Amino acid sequence: MAKIEKHEALDHIDDIIAQADAVMVARGDLGVEIVPELVPRWQKQIIRKTVAVGKEVITATQMLESMITNPVPTRAEASDVANAVWDGTSAVMLSGETASGTYPVQAVTTMSRIVVAAEEDRPEGYAPWGGDTRRVGECRAGSSPAVSQAIAEAACELAADLGAAAIVTPTQTGATARQVARFHPGIHVLAATPSREVWRHLALTHGVTPALVHEAEDTDATIGLAVEAGVAHGVAMPGDLLVVTCGASVNAPGTTNLIKVERV
């Protein structure tokens, strides 16, 4: 994970994001390196750039700083956490509030409540990146990543057109789920995977509900297990429409090339 805290890092932010597995916006240290009024701008830009390439980004430092000594946050801190969620951050992080604060449990509980409220009630007309949540990354024709990117975008558009309850992505590596999540479709994205490691990693991906499933013998069984997981995790109910992505080659990473609409 690349921790962005130096002015030099901002000069090479695209290269750093390309090499990193994930990025942390360390606002406290970064605020020492650059003038305070530029920190919000860079926070938003780093979040946008990282999510655009399907990677995770953590927003950290002084999010609920007053809760080191007080049982409730300031209203400005609550707004800060919510705005990070609306910007598209994958996670928000506490540090001193839980490491040395007087109210660590209250800090975690408070942050959780703010995040849940922000996710459930996004401001009308507000979307990350100025409302343009699609085509945020380049899709290069002729390369295998372009196939999964195109499938992910098509799944989001199809789900929006049909009013689907969720997008379900059986995945071996988590890549397809991350590609779908970067478009912020506004509905649940359920990632069904037989890999416990991938299942843990996807817990950090914004908007994705990871589900651990058994390996299946064929495509239909894979889709069936994924749909069952969607119901079990509460992202779909009987009668709902689901948009499912899958690969013709079962249990082979990097082969997502199918989209199917399923009614629960």
Q: Is residue 67 within 8 Å of 106, Cβ to Cβ?
A: yes
CA distances from 219 to 67, 191, 254 (A): 50, 15, 14
pLDDT digits (tens, 9 = 90+) for 69-115: 999 999 999 999 999 998 889 999 999 999 999 999 999 999 999 99
Angle at 210 between CA 207 and CA 211, to 5 degrees: 145
> Domain residue spans in the chain?
2-120, 142-263
Instruction: Name the architecture of domain 142-263.
Output: 3-Layer(aba) Sandwich (3.40)
Instruction: Give the pLDDT band (50/70/90) at residue 127.
Output: low
Evaluate whether the domain defined by 2-120 bears CATH number 2.40.110.10: no
Residue type, 95: S
- Full-model pTM: 0.78
- Cβ neighbours for 211, distance < 8 A, ≥ 6 positions apart: 190, 191, 192, 193, 199, 226, 229, 230, 232, 233
